[in-house]
Structure 1
Amino acid sequence: MNDHAYDLFNGDADGICALHQLRMAEPREATLVTGVKRDIELLRHLPAGEAADATVLDLCFDRNETGVRRVLDAGGRVHYIDHHAAHNLFEHPRLTSLIDTSKGVCSALLVDQHVGGRFRDWAIVGAFGDNLLGVAGALAQQRGHDEPATACLGRLGLLLNYNAYGETAEDLHLHPRVLYEALHEFESPFDFIDHAPEYGHLAEGYELDRRGLASLRPYRQDDTGELYLLPGEPWARRLAGTLANQRAALYARKSIAVLTSRTDGGYLASVRVAANCTAGADVLCRRYPGGNGRSAAAGVDQLPDSALDGFIADFFLHIKGDHK
């Protein structure tokens, strides 16, 4: 192993599927650096002053600009693939990037483009996990998958994504590094589904967690949106993103916000805006410290208790003011 080689990736379905495709096409030994979905600034974990060879996948460039510059200043190299905000992207002879922030794009699809579609089923899984349901479904149809096979890929994407949500890695059923290493043993997602015990573990955990949603009702709702307040329980933290995605898919003209109580106070917010909103979820979330994301989906890592009422009012004003 190259002691200076690092693969840094978001611990959700998109990040895992992006790295899996890349390393099947371009194998290399590297130290894996990942964490829960909201652990974005992963370059901070690299040793200071080391000329690292870092590949970064599905992590917002703007949140990692300082880390990228630190690697480059030490003589290292950075290869960046992502679909989140990159307003601060700069040119450097040892920085290469494939970044596309367009709607309908995710990191797994960008890697699919990079490797010439060699492992497209995994790109489809990543797209399903990133809630690009129409894009993923169309690609599955192009691949000739029937409805049951497409549903299997969609459920795998959901489970991989569900596993990444938590305040800390202790909330997760499997650490994303462990999950990636298990998944990387399989060239086909269908083989992973059929043979990997990790798949069964996630499926069982998901079904158990879903019981907590049986009596859940929106904290506030109207014709344009729904906002949920979830308790500070591990099951709720694991389901927050899945709930937001599923409600957004069920009500295409409604925006969704899911706020989950943090163990250290405040809330973690997940926001999905409807397609008929002209301003994005990222615009709303960037008004708050630690807020970022994409036009369709964004979040705030730590919303103080004192900001709760203001955020709720802000969310509904945002989606009403930009409703077409």
Structure 2
Amino acid sequence: MTATVARLRRYGVRPAGAALVLWAAATVTFLALHLVPGDPVLVLLGGGSGANPTPETIAAIRHAYGLDQPLYAQYLHHIGRLVTGDLGVSTSLKEPVAGVITQQLPATIELTALALLFAWLLAGAVVLLSTGRGALGRALGSGLETVAAGLPHFWLGVVLLYVFAFRLGWFPVAGGTGIAGLVLPALTLAVPLAGYLGQVTRGALLTALEQPFVTSARLRGMSSAAVRARRALRHALLPPLTLSGWAVGALFSSEVVVESVFARQGIGRALLNAVLARDLPLVTGIVLLIAAVYVLVDLAVDLLHAVVDPRIRTPREL
């Protein structure tokens, strides 16, 4: 019975939950853009509130984009098109949404991967260096993590640009290519995330250090640093791994700010421009991509849990 329930959860509940998340993302995006004040036709015409198109032009645009239909009809058409896998054409760029996402996604993946790597390295270094160093060491490490977690991305990005790009000239000011152009944006994303990862890892590591296997390792003559790095750390990885699953999706969202500050191409900047242009197809496509990233990373985290801790397995049928 236990194995049957586990299989139902894995093969039934998870896909249904993923579909529900994607539907909710598409619905909220549709409603949000339609509830924003202003006439979307004027945005499509590129004139804003100061535009003065003829009534015939307005009527033609409304009919071309289906804006003359009732809201429920527009919504059903919107969802039906997405169900068939058709993301539509960007109203602002006049290009297929799938093509726009394909062009912008590689830069965002590079930035996200490097930011997550930096976050883990920073969090791991602070935790390992401060844990087991007495009350003062723990207080310093915990205080540093709290400050890092509370730093706003916009402020941190501007400070890093001023110090390392304008003053020292170590990195390009904006829009740099290659690894040099990735370092400052990745650090801007990584430092606050490292604060969260460090706080979670520290608590899990302190709990692991109280377990009997740690005492046994110390009795065999293993140093405190080796115990922390080779024994306790592995058992403390599950909570931060779970947080990393959330963090990947959060990084995609935070890149709206960071890619704008550093004038980088990517999904975040494309999303900001699409929202300003009330480009429903492009906004929906990017939001669905971010929601899918959350779902896929959550599944990957579950698989990593079983790798880190072999005791986590789907129950076998007796």
Structure 2 length as normaliser, TM-score? 0.25
Structure 1 or 2: larger helix share?
Answer: 2
The higher radius of gyration belongs to 2
Structure possessing the higher relative contact order (Cα contacts under 8 Å, 6 or more residues apart)? 2
Structure 1 length as normaliser, TM-score? 0.25
